[in-house]
């Protein structure tokens, strides 16, 4: 024990020394010693990232040791540390390094050339003890499950914890899987699929850092509570170039949380909605009912239906997005109007035989049209510049527009209703279907060039002034600061970190995307995500049995084959680390009711506490909930009350997906089941959130699947029922 404590203390001394070195270098970089401004920015970012990596390693720096058959031993930890004086000999192996793999996969039957695995039990920086597992000797003094059971039995905190010290063999094989395409990880409740996916991200960032870190990783989860729950796992592993979003966040500047009715969500989530969007755009490309008069010099010309129809056909045939095709439309209309106007302005003396004069006149008239308010207004009426919002909003609030686009009237909603989660992929799709407004882009480019020219002039002026100064002249600090600010703008320096830049840029692409609760994503959601990751590198996490969305996946191949045929692989997790056997027995009975072909995951442990139920009246319900909350407030750990939507003091099951709590009270399960076609799946989710204690309050008779609960008749303390 003493030697192990001494070794780990030495590791912390190295960590502290490295931290001090990085801190000093970071301070020097901030002071701007040497290099260009852009080089200094890059150095500051890199050192800040390294400082974060070293900071998170402080907790549980070293958690194990491997002894090989040849007598060598290696220490395993959160990061790698090296002895610089001895040729950078590793003194602590990063858990992701290939040499660390036996720590997770070696067994008595397959020891991986290892003799012993030692797992440290630490308090802060202090080694309190360790557990040894002898490998390669079946029936030996193996105690390898001790650390795992201690972790899964520990009270839950505010968020998900990493499992770097207790990764199991089936999890490690998935984390280290060498597959360049899409990996689907499916597992029932409590199998650790989310935390495995996050550790896989950390592993990929370690093994492919140069390829991945400049573009980062996107993690998509079902709701903000879930993202908050998992948000500290990757930072605890030293990785910060990760963007966390829900599907409602995928369009910059928009955070949609409202949900559609199941039918509207199904319609919006289907690829058939693409035809509706295209038809809705075409419906805004109009022909005039009556000719529109346009005054030119001393003549008046008219945009008639025939002219507009020709221009519309040419614009559509161009294949350009709507806003960009407006240029084609305008060019055709302009051509027709000038052709009609030139002979009348020339009063017959100007003919096409005088080609140069004809074209000069056309140029003048074209400029005049471009500045004519009536002409611009006519273009706006016939071929308006559209944004995704200005197209979709009027579409969904107008029965006439919906019918014209061939859409189901189930999509109709009131004017002023918020954007929904199902609207987000449609808004994103419309960015491509509509395209950019060229006039806005051109104005922005003119402004940028003007600023650059002005900045260049100021810098030249300051340089000339410095050269010509005599002793009485002064170049003030404010002048230099102003010049430096202008230089930054000329150089287009961007000092935002990766997360800030990625979330603000709709066209940002990621090197890898993690999709959790992926069974809930619609076909349209997948189009957005595939756009965000052209390399098609995904880790997809889900459980088809827990699907609640009418637009979600019924099979993985339906969603993935259109994008990555032959490039996706499937892996399953079968061991339940969260839900004790007593609770899983009840949940499995519910699963059998709506998904009889699905095998429930096998619980790794029992907790000794029997789940209970209690029937209450409507008047007793609120007091019973308060009793549970009061009792759990005095315990260590977390708790939640889950029930049907609309019940005061409870959380809908949909908002707890992916979360876990020490104690769960499920309210009125009969109403959860009755709330839509996926009600039984919602109840299954609710029951499997508990890691220790489960109670059920019901007003109507219990559903048949829950009759295995221990019925009690009076207020109880959940932990006392055995």
- List the structure tokens of 473: 């002249």
- Among candidates 237, 230, 238, which has minimal Cα distance to 514? 230
The string of DSSP codes covering 347-362 is TTS--TTSHHHHHHHH
Cα distance between residue 143 and residue 134, in whole Å: 8
191 is in an annotated binding site: yes
Cα distance between residue 716 and residue 719, in whole Å: 8
The order of strands in the sheet holding 81-83 is 81-83, 89-94, 73-77, 62-68, 114-123, 126-134
Cα distance between residue 518 and residue 522, in whole Å: 9
Cα distance between residue 243 and residue 236, in whole Å: 15
Task: Report CA 352 to chain centroid distance, whole Å.
Answer: 61
Is residue 586 within 8 Å of residue 611, measured between CB atoms? yes
Cα distance between residue 353 and residue 343, in whole Å: 12
Q: How many CB atoms lie within 10 A of CB 465?
A: 12
Is residue 103 within 8 Å of residue 112, measured between CB atoms? no
End-to-end CA separation in angstroms for the chain? 39
Task: Report CA 671 to chain centroid distance, whole Å.
Answer: 32
Rama region for 536: left / alpha / beta (φ>0; ψ in -120 to 50; rest): left
- Among candidates 581, 593, 588, which has minimal Cα distance to 691? 581
300 is in an annotated binding site: no
Residues with Cβ within 8 Å of residue 135, at least 6 apart in sequence:
106, 107, 108, 111, 112, 114, 115, 116, 117
Is residue 217 within 8 Å of residue 512, measured between CB atoms? yes
449 is in an annotated binding site: no
In this structure, the strands spanning 114-123 and 126-134 are antiparallel
566 is in an annotated binding site: no
- List the structure tokens of 4: 């192990």
Name the 3-class secondary structure at 721: coil
Cα distance between residue 542 and residue 226, in whole Å: 14
Is residue 65 within 8 Å of residue 74, measured between CB atoms? yes
189 is in an annotated binding site: yes
194 is in an annotated binding site: yes
Name the 3-class secondary structure at 605: coil
- Among candidates 71, 80, 138, which has minimal Cα distance to 111? 138
Relative orientation angle of helices 373-382 and 322-345, to the nearest 10 degrees = 140
DSSP 160: P
- List the structure tokens of 416: 């002023």
Q: Can you say which residues are annotated as belonging to the binding site? A: 187-194
Q: Can you say which residues are annotated as belonging to the binding site for ATP? A: 187-194
């Amino acid at each position: 024990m003493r030697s192990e404590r001494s070794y780990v203390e030495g590791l912390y001394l190295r960590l502290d020394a490295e931290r001090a070195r990085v801190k000093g270098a970071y301070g020097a970089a901030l002071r701007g010693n040497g290099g260009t401004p852009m080089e200094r920015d890059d150095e500051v970012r890199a050192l800040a990232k390294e400082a974060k990596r070293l900071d998170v390693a402080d907790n549980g720096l070293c958690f194990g040791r491997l002894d090989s058959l040849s007598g060598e031993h290696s220490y395993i930890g959160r990061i790698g540390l090296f002895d610089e004086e001895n040729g950078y000999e590793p003194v602590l192996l990063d858990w992701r390094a290939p040499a660390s793999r036996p720590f997770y996969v070696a067994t008595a039957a397959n020891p991986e050339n290892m003799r012993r695995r030692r797992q440290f039990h630490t308090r802060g920086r202090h080694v309190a003890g360790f557990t040894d597992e002898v490998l390669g000797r079946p029936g030996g003094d193996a105690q390898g499950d001790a650390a795992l059971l201690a972790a899964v039995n520990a009270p839950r905190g505010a968020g998900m914890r990493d499992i770097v010290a207790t990764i199991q063999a089936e999890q490690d094989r998935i984390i280290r899987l060498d597959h360049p395409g899409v990996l689907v990880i499916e597992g029932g409740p409590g199998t650790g699929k989310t935390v495995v996916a996050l550790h896989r991200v950390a592993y990929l960032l370690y093994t492919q850092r140069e390829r991945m870190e400049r573009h980062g990783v996107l993690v998509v989860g079902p709701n903000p509570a879930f993202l908050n729950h998992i948000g500290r796992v990757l930072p605890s592993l030293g990785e910060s170039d990760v963007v966390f979003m829900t599907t409602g966040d995928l369009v910059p500047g928009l955070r949609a949380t409202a949900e559609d009715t199941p039918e509207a969500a199904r319609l919006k989530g289907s690829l058939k909605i693409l035809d509706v969007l295209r038809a809705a755009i075409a419906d805004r490309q109009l022909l005039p009912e009556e000719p529109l008069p346009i005054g030119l010099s001393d003549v008046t010309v008219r945009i008639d239906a025939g002219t507009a129809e020709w221009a519309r056909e040419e614009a559509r045939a161009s294949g350009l997005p709507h806003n960009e095709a407006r240029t084609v439309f305008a060019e055709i209309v302009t051509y027709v109007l000038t052709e009609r106007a030139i002979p009348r302005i020339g009063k017959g003396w100007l003919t096409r035989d005088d080609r140069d004069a004809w074209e000069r006149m056309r140029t003048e008239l074209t400029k005049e049209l471009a500045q004519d308010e009536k002409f611009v207004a006519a273009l706006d009426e016939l071929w308006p510049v559209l944004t995704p919002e200005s197209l979709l909003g009027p579409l969904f609030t107008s029965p006439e527009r919906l019918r014209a686009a061939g859409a189901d009237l189930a999509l109709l909603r009131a004017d002023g209703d918020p954007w929904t989660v199902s609207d987000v992929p449609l808004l994103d799709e419309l960015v491509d279907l509509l395209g950019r407004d060229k006039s806005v882009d051109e104005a922005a480019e003119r402004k940028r060039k003007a600023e650059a020219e002005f900045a260049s002039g100021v810098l030249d002026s300051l340089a000339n002034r410095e050269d010509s100064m005599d002793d009485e002249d002064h170049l003030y600090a404010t002048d230099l600061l102003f010049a430096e600010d202008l230089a930054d703008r000329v150089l287009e320096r961007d000092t935002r970190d990766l997360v800030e830049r990625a979330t603000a840029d709709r066209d940002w692409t990621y090197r890898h995307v993690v999709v959790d609760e992926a069974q809930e994503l619609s076909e349209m959601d997948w189009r957005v995500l595939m756009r965000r990751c052209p390399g098609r590198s995904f880790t997809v996490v889900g459980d088809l049995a827990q699907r609640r969305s009418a637009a979600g996946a019924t099979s993985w191949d339906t969603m993935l084959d259109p994008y990555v045929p032959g490039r996706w692989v499937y892996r399953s997790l079968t061991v339940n680390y969260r839900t004790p056997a007593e609770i899983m027995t009840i949940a499995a009975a519910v699963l059998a009711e709506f998904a009889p072909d699905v095998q429930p995951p096998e619980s790794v442990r029992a907790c000794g506490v029997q789940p209970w139920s209690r029937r209450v009246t409507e008047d007793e319900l609120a007091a019973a909930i308060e009793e549970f909350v009061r009792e759990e407030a005095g315990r260590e750990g977390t708790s939640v009350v889950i029930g049907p939507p609309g019940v005061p003091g409870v959380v809908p099951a949909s908002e707890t997906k992916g979360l876990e709590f020490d104690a769960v009270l499920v309210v009125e399960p009969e109403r959860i089941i009755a709330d839509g076609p996926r009600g039984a799946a919602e109840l299954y989710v609710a029951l499997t959130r508990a890691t220790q204690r489960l109670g059920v309050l019901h007003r109507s008779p219990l559903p048949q699947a829950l009759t295995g609960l221990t019925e009690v008749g009076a207020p109880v303390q959940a932990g006392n029922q055995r």
